[in-house]
Structure formats: structure tokens, C-alpha cells
Structure 1
């Protein structure tokens, strides 16, 4: 019964209920079935929030990005990328993934979706295709949005464990040690390097296919 919180989260997310309400409810109910009192549950939740409050700092970037967009950040990004005639959407996204993966592998975090993808990378990726083919279909715009988000996800997810002091590597080490298995953070990070390289190559291939599809679709339109 102490794992009922997991079931609540699964059901809540499946029904698309309010995320915060689902998570808090799961925590409270899990505490109650585990024999904790309301005061103890609230104290535990409050302590966890205080200890991890730095994870909420990204919220400060949202109004800043909003102000930048209001004063032309997105428009300037599109204008800049349209001047680079030989740059395609796939090439731009591949370049960003390489930068994202390299920096996170060195322990440097650029920001992510709110700070880079939404205000810069996606508008530039879309602008690169508009510069080549003109107005895009709504479906293709959505596809470029998805690929822009994936560029950040690929770079961040597969590159972070290359840095041996990353939280993911330390979690792996601590988990294995609690199971009585001696683990070396350096060896784990070294084993992550080929995975990061393979992931990058596969994403570059996806971007290449995307460029080919866009070129074939819109070049045929111009011919007709």
C-alpha cells in the first residue's frame, strides 16, 4: 500500500489532471497509508521543497524570455538565420545538438527549452526552412517544433553522464554501492561516451532525412 502514490500519479497523468494536485495528493496519501500524521507529512514535504528550492530557479527565466520576445528576440533570430542561405533546418539542429551535448559533457548547462529552444533555436530552425521554401504548412511547422525540442533532449540526456560529477552518474554510483557493488564514476562516464556519440549520429541522420523530405515536398511545389 505504501506504493499507492505511484498508482495515483499514473492515473492522474493518464486522465490529464492538474500535475501539482496529483503529485501533492500522491505524497499525502502515501504518507497516510505509511502511518505518518498530517503534521509529519507536511513537514516532510516542506523540508523536501526547501532542500530542492534551487530547482525552481528556472521559473525566473520565463518572464525574462517573455520580455525578450516582446521586444523582438524571436524576430531578430529569424532575420539572422535567413541571411545564411546555405543553412538548412537539419544542419542547424544538428549543430545545436553538438553544442548542447559537448557543453553538458563538460558540466556546463546552457539552459534548455525555456531559455534556448523556445526563443532561439525553434525560430531559427523554422526561419531556415522559410528562407529556402517560403511559407510552410502547419504540419511541417509542428514537425520542426518537435525536432527543435528533440535537439535539446538528445544533447542533454545522452551527454550529461559523460561528465563524471553529474548528478546522474553520482546516483548510479550510490545506488550500486547500496547494493554492495563497487562502482567507479570515471568508468561510468567513459562508458557513456560511445552512447553519446551514437545518439548524436542517429539524430544527425534524422535531421538529414527531415531536410530531404522538406526539399522534396517544397521543390515539387515550386516546379508545379
Structure 2
């Protein structure tokens, strides 16, 4: 039970609005001491974990870049370009982006997802494709943005396991090997491909139905004005 004392420290520290980084560090040290680990070894473990996962902090660098681009009209230009394509719809934008997301992730290429693409590009393009200059209630805009976000999540989730060096596949292989069941990464990738295809088909059907729903909502909104 003493090992859980770090959780109590975090709850109290954050409740009293102490520095979050300091609270987490102290909680980690206390947890280590409660588990019989010296302060030196605990700090060394924290430092090793930070160095190993330092790439996770790269998204912090993306945010100011995206902010500067939005300030100079990135969203407006995306909306303007898509608004001129009459055949474009929110569902088709989501289907295209999801396909691109699956292919790039399967090749081991990350697009930084939400901060770099969905918020500044895909969501505005989906809105412009759905509205074509019409007014829409906030609820409709929120649904369009949610669908744009889902295209990134679904594409990434079902596409990443088609990359032979994906962390998920390596984890599964390690567990299976420990259980005495040898598996090959190449075979696992092959079995993941049909799943990704089915996920894309089902998501595409969902986006088509969503287009019809948006049209009905916009028509209803225009009649009430």
C-alpha cells in the first residue's frame, strides 16, 4: 500500500495548485522510496525514461508553427480552395484523408495528426465542402469537426499495425514469444491488412451517411430562418 503514496502526493499537490512538474517528480521519488529504491536510482530511472521518450515532446514545437500559419490565413485558404470544388463534401474529404493517413502510417511516416493536419487543414476543408458558403448552427460545425478528427484516429489506429516495426506489433510478438508461440512480424502485417481495409469501407459508409445527415440539417436550418 505504501507504493501508492505517490498517488496521494500527486492528488494533494495538484489540489493545492503546486507546480505540476515538481509534484510529479516528488511523487515519483516517494513511490521509489516506498518500493525500496534509492533516491539516486529513482532519479536515474526518471531521466532514462525521459531520454527514451523525448520524441513525445516534439508536438510542443508543432503548436506554435501551426499557430503562426493559421494567423497568416491557412484555414481561410483551405476553406476557399475546397469551397470552389462543387463535388467536394465533408465525407469525401474525410475518406480521402483517412486513406492517406492509413497509407502513410503503414509506411512508417507520421503526419503529426491532430495538431498539424486536422485542426488547421482537414476540419476547415470539411466545413467548406459541407457548407459551400451557407450558414450552419454550431452543432453542425462541431459534428463536422468531430468527423474530421475521427478520420485521423481511425486511419492511424488501423494503419499503424501494417508497419512492420510498429510498437503494437513488437509488443504482441514479445508476448507471444514469451508464451512459447512463435510468430513472424511479416505474417502479422498480412493479417492486419484485411482489418484495415474493412475499417476503411465501414468508415466510408459512415461518412456517406454523414453527408446525407448534414444536408438534411442544413436544409432544416435554412427553412427555419
What TM-score do the two structures reach when normalised by structure 2?
Answer: 0.85
Structure 1 residue 47 and structure 2 residue 48: aligned?
Answer: yes
Structure showing greater radius of gyration is 2
- Whether the aligned pair in 2 keeps the contact of 1:158 and 1:195 (CA below 8 Å) is yes
**27-36 vs 193-202, which deviates more?**
27-36
Q: 2: distance between equivalents of 1:6 and 1:161? A: 35
The residue aligned with 1:202 is 202
The equivalent of 1:151 in structure 2 is: 151
For 1:122, the equivalent position in structure 2 comes to 123
Distance 2:176 2:219 in 1: 54
Q: Could you say which residue in structure 2 is the equivalent of 1:35? A: 36
Specify whether residues 160 and 25 from structure 1 end up closer, same or farther in structure 2 by C-alpha distance, changes over 3 A only: farther
Deviation per residue, 1:74-105 (Å, 9 max, x gap):
11011111011111101110110011111111
RMSD of the TM alignment (CA)? 2.7
**Counterparts in 2 of 1:203 and 1:30: CA distance versus 1, 3 Å:** farther
* Equivalent residue, structure 1, for 2:81: 80
Contact 2:79 2:124 in 1 (8 A): yes
Q: CA deviation at 1:20?
A: 6.3
TM-score, normalization: structure 1? 0.86
For this pair of structures, how many residues does the alignment match? 218
Change (3 A) 1:78 1:53: same
- Residues in 1 aligned to 2:207 and 2:30: alpha-carbon distance in whole angstroms: 45
Higher mean alpha-carbon deviation, 48-57 vs 75-84, is at 48-57
Distance in 2 (CA, whole Å) between partners of 1:130 and 1:104 is: 30
Contact 2:6–2:30 (CA<8 Å) still a contact in 1? no
Structure 1 residue 58: deviation in Å? Answer: 2.2
Note if contact 1:5-1:27 (Cα within 8 Å) is conserved in structure 2.
no
Deviation per residue, 1:106-157 (Å, 9 max, x gap): 222222111101110011111112206x111111111111111111000001
Q: Which runs of 5+ in 2 are unaligned?
A: none
CA offsets per residue over residues 20-55 of structure 1, 9 Å max, x none? 688656644542332112232122101110122122
Aligned equivalents of 2:23, 2:153: Cα separation in 1: 25
Within 5 Å, which residues of 2 pair with 1:5-44?
Answer: 27-44=28-45
- Alpha carbons of 1:36 and 1:126: their partners in 2 closer, same or farther (altered >3 Å)? same
Residue 212 (str. 1) matches residue 202 (str. 2): no
